[in-house]
Amino acid sequence: MSRRKNEQSPLLQIERELTLGENAYAQLKQVLINGMMGPGERITVRGIASALGVSITPAREAITKLVSEGALVAVGPKTIVVPALTAEVLDEVTSLRLALEPNAARIGAAKEGKRSLAFLRSTQKALKAAMARKDYREALKRNHDFHFELYEAAGLPMTLGFIESLWMKIGPSLNLLYPDFAVHHGGLSNHADIISAISSGDSATVEGTIRKDIEMGYESLNNYVANTETISLRR
């Protein structure tokens, strides 16, 4: 395949696959977004390199990028941790999520909602099954898949990138919603309402339900953070 040249530029488009470092970053990012690592979990460059089957260099590149983005924190020359959630971070992340996600969901539902229904229904079914067997990691992944099906359908790459960066910060702490989430089934109810709204072509309700879902998550996480900080002060 020949490289194309922009008529207004002498530069040729570079054709290449992702580097090992970029692939390592993409995988680690998804692990954080999906909540596969919890707050305070420690990782090392050597450990990540071994898990990914790559050398030290791409693993270090990926981790360094995530540290620069605030998704990971260096606590020593060779040790990195997933940062614990603070009230300040939770408030800011939630404020930004409320500004971006409901709108993206509304646009995505209006554009591709009917085409997404089969995927959303199967994802909801898999989420219910994961919660029934108390497989909360799988439940978190399915929850992510449900939300991002709508966000990606919006066709707003800048917005999607911002949302992903926010989920990198909040994803690990979504573990803290379980098993309470499984008992109350609030998220499942919201998903069911979204599916129903898409079926009837009501993208405005999709927007409102995503907002409700974020606010419910915030309330639970805020209570957890407040209790955690109180315990720390007593020590």
In order, the DSSP letters of the chain are -PPPB-TT-SPBPP--PPPHHHHHHHHHHHHHHTT-S-TT-EEEHHHHHHHHT--HHHHHHHHHHHHHTTSSEE-SSSEEEPPPP-HHHHHHHHHHHHHHHHHHHHHHHHHHHHHHHHHHHHHHHHHHHHHHTT-HHHHHHHHHHHHHHHHHHTT-HHHHHHHHHHHHHHGGGGGGGTTHHHHH-HHHHHHHHHHHHHHTT-HHHHHHHHHHHHHHHHHHHHHHHHHHHHHHHH-
pLDDT (0 to 100) of residue 65 = 95
- pLDDT tens by residue, 174-183: 877 776 655 5
Mean pLDDT of the chain: 87
Q: Which CATH superfamily is domain 87-234 in?
A: GntR ligand-binding domain-like (1.20.120.530)
For the chain, which residues make up each domain, given as ranges? 20-81, 87-234
What is the average per-residue pLDDT within 17-34?
89
pLDDT (0 to 100) of residue 198 = 97
What is the average per-residue pLDDT within 130-152?
92
7 pLDDT higher than 60: no
Residue 10 binned pLDDT confidence (cut-offs 50, 70, 90) = low
pLDDT (0 to 100) of residue 14 = 44
pLDDT (0 to 100) of residue 141 = 92
233 pLDDT higher than 90: no
pLDDT (0 to 100) of residue 156 = 97
Residue 1 binned pLDDT confidence (cut-offs 50, 70, 90) = very low
Looking at domain 20-81, its CATH architecture is Orthogonal Bundle (1.10)
71 pLDDT higher than 50: yes
